[in-house]
Structures are given as structure tokens and as C-alpha cells.
Amino acid sequence: MSAPFPTKSPKTGEELSAVTATPASEVPEIVLRAREAQKTWAEMSVAARCRQVSKVKSRLLGRAEEIAKVVSEETGKPEVEALLSEALPSGDVVDYWTANAEEMLESLDVEIDRLAYPGKSGWIHREPRGVIALIQPWNFPVALPLRTIIPALCAGNAVVFKPSEVTPRSGELLVSLFKDVLPEGLLGLVLGGRDEGKALCEADVDLVVFTGSVASGKKVAATCAERLVPCALELGGKDAAIVLADANLDRAANGIVWGAMVNAGQNCASVERVYVDKSVEKALTDKIVAAVKALRPGVDIGPMTTTQQREIVARHVSEAKEKGAEILTGGEVGEGDYAYAPTVLSVKDESIALMQEETFGPVIPIVGVDSPDDAVKRANGTRFGLTASVWTRNVKKGQALGRRLRAGVVTINNHAFTGALPGAPWTGVGDSGWGVTNSPFALDALTRPRFILVDRNRAKKELYWYPYTDTLRAIAVAFAKLRGGGPFTKLGAILKLLTLLPKRLLGRDAKAAK
């Protein structure tokens, strides 16, 4: 068994199957094989590529229970949660892209001024980037990679995928779904940790798509900048839920608890801060505490995936308690090496790490606010800006508040689930990064525009070619007046052009401009 892979399951404590790391020295060769395979793949029609990729859906759903079992063993999340968050939404991802990619990738006509540029037609084509390096985290080890792999392949790219060193077995299983569906080498797999990830970023790739921590994302961006290679980064969040006085408190409490505790809070879109109108603060808090206390360990909520992450959560909660936060339930390490008790706190001091840094654990800090404006100001008060939610019976008011939130995704009366919607963009601002997954906007990173112009003009020269003459100068002035003047100015410019254009085009203006 090669480091740095975990040897036992956070869920059961039992030994996991052995995994061998990919030597960093072999990464360039894997990328080279992907590039060779991509040349043929890109020559296929979009429809043909989509037909091939669509075969993965039946394999994915046919092996859904196996996927859930492996993911659960590696991450600790309940198997039912793995089914709901990893397998089922991924089938929708395959459907969405294979059904719509051909239309999304259609060429676009470009309008060209026929008077200034006669005989010319142009089209914009979306071309594949080439080889995409995909480096992904452990919290959703099947669903997250597929949100890039599927559209990347449909667009004509090759992908070299490095799963997290925490979940290599899930990564291997994911890649096995494509066996015999794709040309050999088109979907490469690199297993390992930081060294292998660094080697992949430094290899001959055309785009790096990275999901992970802010610190690691900055290193990826710096490496890409040195090579002038684009990157797409999704770096986490500190998501706020705003609960207004008129909210349905039962729905808000249940939704916030799910949004905060799903995957043991190890979700970049977890509810990590709650701002509630003081008039309903106690009522909402009581409902949230009751809902959290009702969670069943191992059934509704699993252990944390790594001891390192559990220590971060424990440190954030301990500091919050020292700074005056009141722990209403939880606040302690659970049984076993990985568990942390689901926790609810009442918080006053928002300068603490629990309110500023990504906690990534089963913790709900609650803050009472004086008004919706106060809530928006506080929600926008961190470096992150991934998702946020507003809970209110007044949907119009909720939408208006939502537009003021510094976040890439805003939901009204729900939270966190929109990553499962393949047609809805998933993106952030600030330290949450600038990548986009899902929706046609994802293609802006996975493809590049190529403009092709066809010139059917049979004249010996273009109007604007040499020599530069007084006539050409007068024509340029006339065009400026035609495009920017009033009605009478435009009429005069047209008359001028009717006189000057034939002279220029017939070559009767040999006198050079001064």
C-alpha cells in the first residue's frame, strides 16, 4: 500500500483495499497519451461523441449501490446520502450534456457590415481546449468530477483526472465506468497526493480545473500563470442563510439543518452562518436545536472523513466558546476517531474563525439581526461568496434581497441543492473562486472560440489597403459621419460616399494622403 492513501474506513474502521500511487514521473506520459487520443476524438462529430458518452448513464445507475458503498466506505457518509448526492444526480448530468451539447456547440454567425467589408462572412466555432487536468476533492468524489468530465468529453477534450488522495477508490471506480466507451487514454487517471497534483498542473495540459482549498487554489493559479495556462477554481464557501420575520420557521429550520449537516457539513455549500430576525430568533433556534438533536448518528449523519478536518471543526468551536458563544447542543468530539457531534451555537462575536473561515463541519452558528439590511451586510462580510439563501414567505422580497448578496448562487426557501441541477450554473466570487460548473457557461472554460472568416470579394484590392490617399481619408471621415451623425449629416455622408467609393475602388485616387 503506497502513501498517502488512507488505510481504514472512517465509517467502519475496517481496512480498505490497497491503492498504488501513480509515480509523478509518469504523469507527462499519461498526458501525452491523452493528447494523442484527443486528436481523433475531436475529429468526431459532437453527436457521435455524445452517443458514446451517453452509454455511461446506464453503467452509472446500474452500479449505483456499488458506488454508494465505495463512497460511503471512503468518506463515512451514509449510503443513502451517497445514492442521493453522488449516483442519481450524476445520471442527470449525463442526460443533460449528451442531449444538449450539440446545440450548445453550434457555430454562430457573425454580423459583418456589408458596405465596409463586402463579400465577407464569418462564423464562431467552439473548439475543445485539448487536454484538461481535473483535480478534485474528497467530499463528493463521484458527482463533482463528473460535472466536468461529461461536458469536457462532449466538447471534444481529453481529461486527466486526479481524485483526492482520501478517495482514490471512488476515483478508480468512476473511471472504470468509461472503460471501452472512450478511446484508450482519452480519460487518464493519476492517483496520488500533492506531488502528483503538482506534476499534473506542470504537465502539457491546456486547462486546469481545480476544486479544493483557497491555499491550494492559489498555488494552482500561480503554476498556471507561469505557463499561461487558464484555470477554473472552486475554492469553498462560508454560506449564509438569512431568515426573515415572516418565514415559515418549520421549513426554514428543517432546511437549514439539512443544508448544514448533509455530508457531516463537509460541503462547500453548507450553511455555515445563520442570520435571523431577532423577533423570531428564539423560535427558530429552538426548532433548529430540536431537529439537530433528532439526527441519528450513522443513519442521518455520518462521521467526518478525516481527522484533520475534525480538528479544524473542534478548534473553531473551542475558540467560539472562549469568545462568548453559547453552545446549545453538541460542541464535542463524538465516539470514534472521526466523529464530531452535530453542533448549534448562539454567536455574538463575528470576528472569530467560526464566522470568517470555512469550517467544513456539522456546525450551525446563529446570529440575531435587527433588520434584513443588517442581515445582508453581515452575510456579505466574509471573503467568500459561493451560495446563500433567504427564507421568507414574501418571494418577491426574498428575490430582491438575494440580488444584493455577494454570492454566485442564491436560493429562496431552500439551500445547497442546486449543484445537482446540470442546467444551473454553479460558481462563486471572491475566495470562492471563479470557476463555473453546470449550465452552458461551463463551456466558456472547456472550449475556446475560433473565428473563421471567408472572403468572396473578387476585387484586386480592399478599400482600406494601400495606398493611403486623400480620397481614402475622405471616405473614412464620411463613414464616421454616417455612423455617428444626425440625419442630415448622414445624408451628406451617403452622397459623399457615392462619389468617392467608385473613384477609390477603380484606382483613380493615386495621390497620397498628407
Tally of helices (H runs) and strands (E runs) in the chain: 18, 19
Q: Which residue type is seen at 495? A: L
Residue ranges and CATH numbers for the domains of the chain are 26-235+440-450 (3.40.605.10), 239-423 (3.40.309.10), 461-505 (no CATH)
Q: Is the pLDDT of residue 446 over 80?
A: yes
| Contact between residue 135 and residue 220 where contact means Cβ atoms under 8 Å apart | yes
Nearest to 246 by CA among 44, 105, 137, 398: 398
pLDDT tens for residues 190-216? 999 999 999 999 999 999 999 999 999
Q: Is the pLDDT of residue 1 over 50?
A: no
SS3 330: coil
Q: Is the pLDDT of residue 298 over 70?
A: yes
DSSP labels, 107-170: -EEE---TTTSTTEEEEEEEEE-SEEEEE--SSSTTHHHHHHHHHHHHTT-EEEEE--TT-HHH
Q: Which residue type is seen at 90? A: S
Give the pLDDT mean for 347-360: 98
The position carrying cell 438533536 is 293
Instruction: Please give the Cα distance from 363 to 134 (Å, whole number).
Output: 30
Question: Three-state SS across 3-39?
Answer: CCCCCECCCCCCECCCCCCCCHHHHHHHHHHHHHHHH
Confidence of residue 116 (pLDDT cuts 50, 70, 90): confident
435-444 long-range contacts, CB within 8 A, separation 24+: 435/209, 435/210, 435/211, 435/231, 435/232, 435/233, 435/234, 436/232, 437/144, 437/147, 437/148, 437/234, 438/93, 438/147, 440/104, 442/147, 442/148, 442/151, 443/104, 443/105, 443/126, 443/151, 443/155
Instruction: Please give the Cα distance from 302 to 261 (Å, whole number).
Output: 9
| Contact between residue 405 and residue 380 where contact means Cβ atoms under 8 Å apart | yes
Q: What is the mean pLDDT of the chain?
A: 96
Q: Is the pLDDT of residue 139 over 50?
A: yes
Confidence of residue 427 (pLDDT cuts 50, 70, 90): very high
pLDDT tens for residues 210-246? 999 999 999 999 999 999 999 999 999 999 999 999 9
Nearest to 74 by CA among 154, 163, 135, 187: 163
- The CA-atom distances, in angstroms, between 356 and each of 23, 274, 379, 462, 477 are 38, 13, 10, 61, 58
SS3 356: helix
Residue 372: cis peptide before it, omega within 30 degrees of 0: no
pLDDT tens for residues 487-512? 999 999 999 999 999 999 888 887 66
pLDDT tens for residues 8-32? 999 999 999 999 999 999 999 999 9
Strand partners of residue 345: 327, 365
Supply φ then ψ for residue 364, to 5 degrees: -125, 105
Compute and round to an integer the Cα radius of gyration of the chain.
28
Q: Select the more confidently predicted residue: 333 or 367.
A: 367
Supply φ then ψ for residue 4, to 5 degrees: -105, 30
Report the pLDDT value the prediction gives residue 512, as an integer from 0 to 100.
61
SS3 398: helix
| Contact between residue 392 and residue 412 where contact means Cβ atoms under 8 Å apart | yes
Flag whether the pTM goes above 0.85: yes
The position carrying cell 471621415 is 477
Confidence of residue 3 (pLDDT cuts 50, 70, 90): low
Report the pLDDT value the prediction gives residue 507, as an integer from 0 to 100.
87
pLDDT tens for residues 54-68? 999 999 999 999 999
351 CA to centre of own chain: 28
Nearest to 146 by CA among 206, 85, 213: 85
Confidence of residue 336 (pLDDT cuts 50, 70, 90): confident
Q: Which residue type is seen at 79? A: E
256 CA to centre of own chain: 22
Q: Is the pLDDT of residue 166 over 60?
A: yes
Percent of the chain's residues with pLDDT above 90 = 96
Instruction: Please give the Cα distance from 190 to 165 (Å, whole number).
Output: 10
State the burial class of residue 82 (Cβ atoms within 10 Å of its Cβ: 0-12, 13-18, 19+): buried
Element (H, E) at 264: none
Q: Is the pLDDT of residue 296 over 80?
A: yes
Confidence of residue 513 (pLDDT cuts 50, 70, 90): low
Non-local CB neighbours of 252 within 8 Å, separated by 6+ positions: 241, 243, 284, 287, 391, 413
Confidence of residue 514 (pLDDT cuts 50, 70, 90): low
344-363 burial, b if ≥16 CB within 10 A, otherwise e? Answer: bbbbeebebbbbbbbbbbbb
C-alpha grid cell for residue 107?
Answer: 457555430
Report the pLDDT value the prediction gives residue 2, as an integer from 0 to 100.
43
pLDDT tens for residues 72-113? 999 999 999 999 999 999 999 999 999 999 999 999 999 999
Q: Is the pLDDT of residue 399 over 70?
A: yes
